[in-house]
Every structure is written in C-alpha cells, then in structure tokens.
Structure 1
Amino acid sequence: MDSARPFGPLDFQLVLLRRMADFQPGPVEDARIALGASLAEMREANKRWQAMVRSPRGRGSLSRYRSVLGEPESHARRRIGDLDCDAYLWPLPLWPDLRFEVLAGPGGAVWNEWLVRAPGAPGPALRTAEDLTPWCCTVDEAARAFAPARPREGSAPTRWQLDLTLPGGGSCVAEFTWGLFQRVL
C-alpha cells in the first residue's frame, strides 16, 4: 500500500477491521484477505487514519469522511430528541447489507459514526442470545430485538455496549465495534 496515494474506501475498511480484530481476529483475517490487503497494509491504513484524525491542520470530521469515502449514497435530515442533525450514508464493499452512517450537527461536527443496516436490506432474526453471532447485527437492531436495552460506555471511542433483556427475563451485555456486534460479555 503506497502511503503517497490518496486514502480511500479500501483503507477505511481496513481501519474498521483493525479495531474489530481485538475481538474477532478470525473474521477480520478472512475479510482482510478478501480485500487483498496484507497485515502490514492494515497497520499502515490505521496509522494514516490516526494521523488524519489527530492532525491539528486536518479536515473537520465530516469533510474527512467525504474526502475518504466520496459523496454519500444518501443524506437526510433527522431529528433525535429535540436536536436536528444530518445523516449521511456510505456503502462499503466489505459489508454490502450495511452502510457507514455519520450523524453530523451544525457546522459538520460529527456526533456519531458507525455501521447501520442499509435501507431495504433485511435485518437478522434475533430471538435468543444464541442468535447473537459475530457481525450479525448493528447496535440499533440488537436494542430493538432485546428491549428494553440500556446503553453503556464502551472501552474505546469506537466501541459501544448494551445491556440487553433476554426472553424469559435474563440479561446480557453485548459489545459492538463501529456499530457492528462483536461478542456477548
């Protein structure tokens, strides 16, 4: 991977995979190979992404996503509680049934960034804890399937946890990276 070439969608997918490798090294390895990238290329993509994110002269968050992923597939205004924001969706070849969603407030400040189900794509049938398999669902899908769900702080900025209510009254904690389910704790 040539560090002089523009950082693009392939690199960005490698960044997402790099963080997921902490929990799901097997599927990440398979996905990395499917993308035709080496382990060194995945590390280099992550290094370049971190440099962009931390650069004092870097682009704002929303413009950074546009420069990396191109123009979004879709854009819509969304109301969350009493706040209005813009929702942008980008396709990623590695996950054809998902979209990378960025929620941005006034001035392009990014409030949230994660994988969500693509509009019109069927979601998984989630009925029991056994249905929660790596990469099977998004945060929103798990929260709806196992309501009431209570959000918890994750162990890193790109991680989320949910306390889920299981059928029969039990509960579990589900962990997500970039919005994609990784494991039950």
Structure 2
Amino acid sequence: MRYARWNLSFWPGLQIELTEVRRANLFREFVRRPDAPQPSLRSLSDLTPWSCTLRELDDSEFGPLDHLDGVGAIGDLSAFLVIDPDSGRERAYWANFDWSLLQYVEPAPTHYVWPLGER
C-alpha cells in the first residue's frame, strides 16, 4: 500500500490524500491538515457544505456513522442520529459526501431503520 498527501492552496485547511491499495485500486479523499483547527460539530446547524470530512463527522458526537453507499471517492452516503430541531426527538439523517467532504445533510426517509443499536 502507498499513499501521498498534498496541501491545497485554495483550501488552506485541507489536503488531498491518495491511497493505492493495489495497482488498480486508488482511493482519494480530502483530509484536515494536522496543523489546522478541527471543526466544531455540536448541532445539526454546524453541518453545512464543506464544513467537515467524513472522518471528522464519524469522530464527532454524531458518530458512529452507518456507511450506506459509496467507495471513498464520490457519492458516499452515511447515516447518523441526532435530535431533530423541529420535533425535539432523535431521528436519522443522511450525510452526503464527495471525496470525503460534506456536501449536504437531509432527513433520512421514514423507512430507514438505524442498524447500530441504541445510543
């Protein structure tokens, strides 16, 4: 396995990381630079586009995430539980990522069942 990271001048707090598992498998994602401040992820309103990476959301109080779809590049979809600001009840939301960077959050469909047990 090989990997490399590069700083991004247009996003000073992020780096692009490329990981080659086998010659045919190349994964890429945005990661927070080690010297950059971590995002404050405390409420649903903190989850704005490009505010965090998939790894940061999973490590936050919203984790653990239920990874639903995607292969670590574009179109990753993960579910998490949070107190819904409208109802005051815990409910599932879906977080959509491209290259592991949050794009948007939306309520999960009512038929989605949280598989990871009680929180």
Task: Please report the TM-score for the alignment, with normalisation by the length of structure 2.
Answer: 0.72
Deviations 1:93-138 (A, max 9, x none): 111100001111244741x211111112111010111110111000
Could you say what secondary structure the match of 1:98 adopts? strand
Q: Structure 2 matches for 1:82-93, cutoff 5 A? A: 85-93=1-9
d(CA) in 2 for partners of 1:184, 1:106: 32
d(CA) in 1 for partners of 2:14, 2:6: 9
Aligned to 1:129: 44
In the TM superposition, structure 1's runs of 4+ consecutive aligned residues that sit over 3 Å from their partners are 106-109
Q: Structure 2 matches for 1:108-127, cutoff 5 A? A: 109-110=25-26, 112-127=27-42
Equivalent in 64, 78, 97 of residue 13 of structure 2: 97
Query: Greater strand percent: which structure?
Result: 2
Q: Unaligned 5+ residue runs, structure 2? A: 84-88, 107-119
Residues 1:182 and 2:97 are matched in the alignment? no
Query: Greater helix percent: which structure?
Result: 1
Task: Please report the TM-score for the alignment, with normalisation by the length of structure 1.
Answer: 0.48
Number of residue equivalences: 98
Instruction: Note if contact 1:143-1:162 (Cα within 8 Å) is conserved in structure 2.
Output: no
Instruction: Note if contact 1:163-1:174 (Cα within 8 Å) is conserved in structure 2.
Output: yes
> Whose Rg is larger?
1
d(CA) in 1 for partners of 2:58, 2:90: 15
Identity across matched positions, percent: 32
Deviation of 1:170 after TM superposition, in Å, equals 2.6
Instruction: Note if contact 1:99-1:115 (Cα within 8 Å) is conserved in structure 2.
Output: yes
Aligned to 1:143: 58
Q: Unaligned 5+ residue runs, structure 1? A: 1-84
